[in-house]
Structure formats: C-alpha cells, structure tokens
A and B are shown apart, each in its own frame.
Chain A
Amino acid sequence: METELTDNELIERVINKDSKSLEVLYDKYSPILFTLIKKIVSDKEKAEIVLADVFVIIWQKSYLYNLATNNLYAWLILLTRNKSIDFIKRVRGEINDDYNDEYEDNFIIPKISPEISPLEIDKAVDKRGTIYSAVNSLTEAQQYVLSLAYYEGLNESEIAAKLNIPLPTIKTKLRVVLNSIKDFQQKEG
C-alpha cells in the first residue's frame, strides 16, 4: 500500500471497500481519535469500544463524506466526538432513542461546511503546539465552559443551568473562546 496517499485518496478507496486503505487510515488516525475518545469517556476499555465503533462507521458510512471539502481530518474528529458523546450519554441514560441508521446519519455523522479549508492529519499535527498554547491562554473559566461543551457534551442551556449564569452569557463566552483560538492559531500559523 502506498503510504504517500492523501487522506482524500484513502477515504475514496475506503468508500470503494478497500480494507487495506481502512487499515492505513487506522494507522494514521487512531492515536488522535483514541486520545479524543479517552478524554470524553475517561476509560480505556470504553475508549477502545468506541474507537472500534468509529471505524465500523467509517467503513460503512464513508460515502457520506463530502470529498469536495478535502478535510477528512475535521470529518473524522467531529464524527468521533459525536459518537463518544452519544456513548457516554447512553451510559448515563440521558439518551434513550433507538440507535439506527437514521439516527446515526442525523446525529453522529457530522455535516461539514463545504467552505471549510482543506486539512490533513500531518498538517494538523504540526499545529499541536499552537493549539496547546491557544487553549492554555484561555482563562480557567473559559477552558471550563469549553470543556463542558466539547468534551462533556452539555448544550448551552445545560451549561448555563450548571454554572447558574444566563444563557446569552454562555453563548457569548463560547463565541469568544472559539474566536480566541482561531485568532491565536492564525497569528501563529
């Protein structure tokens, strides 16, 4: 298997049910996806289960990825995040909906904007230092709100209720947090 295949080429082959390409994709993406899952489910065994589930989804639903976006990295990260959040919510009993094809297509598979800039895993990894600094530059409160939203899967109203602050403030805070990271990254990168 040629290792110099781009992410888009790889996923295209996976769409055509090439298991070798799926394997290459696993080798490339499993560390970052596993890290994200572990952060969300906070248990190694469960993280392994979710990672396996994620790759099953990739194998079965890769045709839903829009090749034109050329950003498989974002698609996989957001897909994994959604799947992990769904997993812990089901464990907690917060989601009781049937997990079927329709549910998966609507709530697990992310709808990436067609305007998104292209990004591959190799280039994304190069940004690690910048992103780490950007997140660390946030105040503790901002980091907490971000963590509640991104890693714990709480929605804005739930965050507002949990922190006992008005909903509009949470909305503003999230916007400020994302803009800060975006600006920091643009400045550095």
Chain B
Amino acid sequence: MIDKQKIIGLIPAKAIGCLTVEDNLIIQSYLDEGNEFPWDELANYQYTAALLPLALQLEIPEPSLKDNVALKLIKLTEEQLAKKIREEEQLTLNKMEEETNTFSDDNLLLDESAEHQVPAEESETSTSFNLDEIDLPEADAPEPFILESESEQEQESDNFLSKENPDNTFSVDETDLLQETIFTEEPIVTNVSEETPIVNNEESKISSEQTTEEKIIEENVETEKFSTTDLSPQVEEKRTIDKSVANSKFGEIQKKTQNEKIFKALEQELDLLKSGFTESEKKLTRNLLMAYVAIAILLALLIFSYFKFTADIKALEKEVNDVKRNTTSELMEKKIIESNFYFLS
C-alpha cells in the first residue's frame, strides 16, 4: 500500500516532467491499485509548469517555417498513401499467389489421375508444372519509400513519420487542399505581441531561505552557467549535408509518387474503359433483342392485316354482288309497274 502523502510529494516533479523512473513506477502502481489520486494537486502544478515559458523572451519563427510544416504534413500524407498502395498491392500479389497455388494443386491432382494413362517420364514433367515457379513481374510493384538520407538524430526524431496512423483518413484531395490552403495564406499574424514589456515587480520576495545547499548550487551556477547543449561542428556539417541529400531524395520521392499516381490513374481509366465496354456490349445485345422482338411483332401484324384485308375485300365483293343483284330485280319490278301505269292511263 503506497502512502498518499508520498504520492503528493512526487506530484511537483511529475508536473514538471522530471520524475525518476522509479518514482514514475510508484505513481503508476498507485493508480493501478485504484487509489484516489490527487488530481487537483497535479492540476495546480501542471498549470504553473505550463506558464513557465512565458517568462522567456518571445521569438517569432520564420514565416517560411509554416510552409515547411505544410510540406512535412504533405510528405507524411504521401508516404502514408504510398504505404497503403504498397500494402494493397502486396495483398493482391498474395491473393494471386494463393490462386496460383490452388491452381497448381489442381494440376497435381489431375496429373495424378492421368498418371495411369501417360508414360512415367511425361507424368513427371506434368507434375513439376508449378505456377509458383513463375516469376511475377515486379515492375508493377512500387518501390518502397525509404528516407535514408536523414542523419541518425533526425531519423530518430522523425521516425513517427514513417509509421502508419490508424486513424488517419488523409486522402489525396485532402493533401491537395492542405497544400493549397497552407501555401496560399498571408504571413503569420499572431495574437502574441512581440515585445510585451516586462514589469519588474519590486520586492515580491518569496519566503525561501538561503540554505547551505543553495550556496553550493550557486557555486555550481558560476561554473556551469545554464550550459545548453551545443553540438559539435562535425555533427552540424553532417546535418547540412544530410539536409541537402534529404532535399534531393524528397524530389525523387515526389517523382516516384507522381509516377505511381499516374500509373494508378491509368489503371483506373483502363478499368473504367473495360467496364464501359462490357456495359455497352450488354446494351447492344439488349437492343438487338428488342429489335428482333419488334420486327417479329410487326411481321405478325402484317400477316394478320393481310389476311384481314383479304377477308374484308372478299366480303365487300360479295356485298357488292348482292347489291347488284338486288338492284337489277328492283329495276325490273319498277319497269313492270311503270309499264302497267302507262298502259292503264
């Protein structure tokens, strides 16, 4: 059981980020035990720790740095994209290999059954037919993107750039958008004023006694004087060289990525054309069928109307004949009547 007071004693160092590994483990196990953690204490110290850089003389970064940040993000996105494509292609290759494996297995089975019919030598040659041995063209697979030019230190610091981000949903469009937006912006306008006059508040003495330890420290201060880490000129030189190499490599990577993009786009276009062709072929067949049906219907209609018209004509002819016959008999009758009339008158 860890004492809470001990944990509280570790909080300032935790907030400022200078806990020893052992103390860190103590805090971790205290948390793991499910004890009540002094979050408010930690909050107070973290708040204070975050304010410390405000005491420094403010420095504004170069405006070009904003472009570099944008470039870095774009580079990262492209790397992730390339990685994704590589993985997809690897998957497809694996699938193809699996398919070829199953195909060769089938062949083996077929050959085994055919062994009884063919001579032994021939059967041997056919069983050795293994598609695994066929080298698939590697030219299609994009070369891995490896930034080998960065200096060791830089590589280490940039390592996370090469990792895949599980939640990252960058798309090419997004990259373009980012590039477009970040590069076209006007120079940095900050809300932080460059020279805030520092008011030296007089005697705000904090009650902290000058202990003997402090004297020792002050002695050390004189000898050490806030020494910051300076790198040797060789390292500096190496970095400059590495940077130029990195720049050229970056150009190469960009070229490769572009080539890859073009290749992908061509592939997509080809797929589109293929699907378009199949679609139009289907349409054509459907239209042809429709045309055949229409022609058949028309033919049927023609035949039907031919027979109908013939029947109608015959009926009409018959009617005409009837009418003719009737009129002749009527006329004969009329003549007889008329002659009778004249005779009587």
Contacts and interface: CB of A to CB of B under 8 A. Distances in A.
Interface string B33-49: 00000011011111111
A17 B218 contact: no
Contact of B73 (A56, A77, A91, A178): A56
A35 B86 CA distance: 40
B65 interface: yes
Given A144-B217, A184-B204, A100 B199 contact: no
Given A19-B174, A139-B214, A119 B50 contact: yes
A101 B160 contact: yes
Nearest to A90: B156
Contacts of A154: 18
Interface stretch (B136-144, B183-191, B257-265, B300-308): B183-191
Contacts of B154: 49
Contacts of A74: 46-47, 49-50
Contacts of B239: 45
B166 to A, nearest CB: 8
Nearest to B156: A90
Interface in B134-184: 153-154, 156-161, 163, 165, 167-170, 174, 177-178, 181-182
Contact of A147 (B43, B69, B226): B226
A42 B68 contact: no
Given A41-B229, A138-B206, A48 B65 contact: yes
Determine which residue in A26, A28, A98, A153 has the highest number of CB atoms from chain B within 10 A of its CB, and name it.
A26
B199 to A, nearest CB: 5
B113 to A, nearest CB: 53
B18 A116 contact: no
Interface stretch (B9-17, B95-103, B280-288): B9-17
Contact of A129 (B196, B217, B229): B196
Nearest to B214: A141
B51 A127 contact: yes
Interface string A108-130: 00101111110101101101111
B42 A113 contact: yes
A131 B204 contact: no
A179 to B, nearest CB: 8
Q: Which secondary structure dominates where chain A touches chain B?
A: helix
B177 A19 contact: yes
Given A147-B226, A174-B12, A98 B159 contact: yes
B46 A113 contact: yes
A32 B220 CA distance: 30
Determine which residue in A28, A49, A183 has the highest number of CB atoms from chain B within 10 A of its CB, and name it.
A49
Interface residues of B, number: 96
B331 interface: no
Contact of A51 (B45, B69, B194): B69
A63 B198 contact: no
B19 A32 contact: no
Interface in A11-68: 17, 19-20, 23, 26-28, 30-32, 34-36, 38-39, 41-43, 45, 47-53, 55-57, 59-60, 63
A19 B21 CA distance: 37
A52 B73 CA distance: 9
Contacts of B214: 139, 141-142
B190 A28 contact: yes
A42 B230 contact: yes
Contacts of A51: 61, 65, 69
Given A31-B59, A31-B190, A181-B48, 19 more contacts: A27-B188, A34-B60, A41-B229, A47-B61, A55-B72, A77-B49, A77-B50, A81-B17, A124-B50, A124-B54, A125-B54, A132-B55, A132-B199, A137-B205, A141-B214, A150-B52, A165-B217, A181-B52, A184-B206
- Ranked nearest first, the 10 interchain pairs of A and B with the lowest CB-CB distance are A141-B217, A74-B50, A42-B228, A113-B43, A115-B43, A99-B159, A116-B43, A141-B214, A149-B18, A180-B206
Interface of B: 9, 12-13, 15-21, 23, 39-40, 42-62, 65-66, 68-69, 72-73, 76, 153-154, 156-161, 163, 165, 167-170, 174, 177-178, 181-182, 185, 188-194, 196-201, 204-206, 208, 210-211, 213-218, 220-221, 224, 226, 228-231, 235, 239
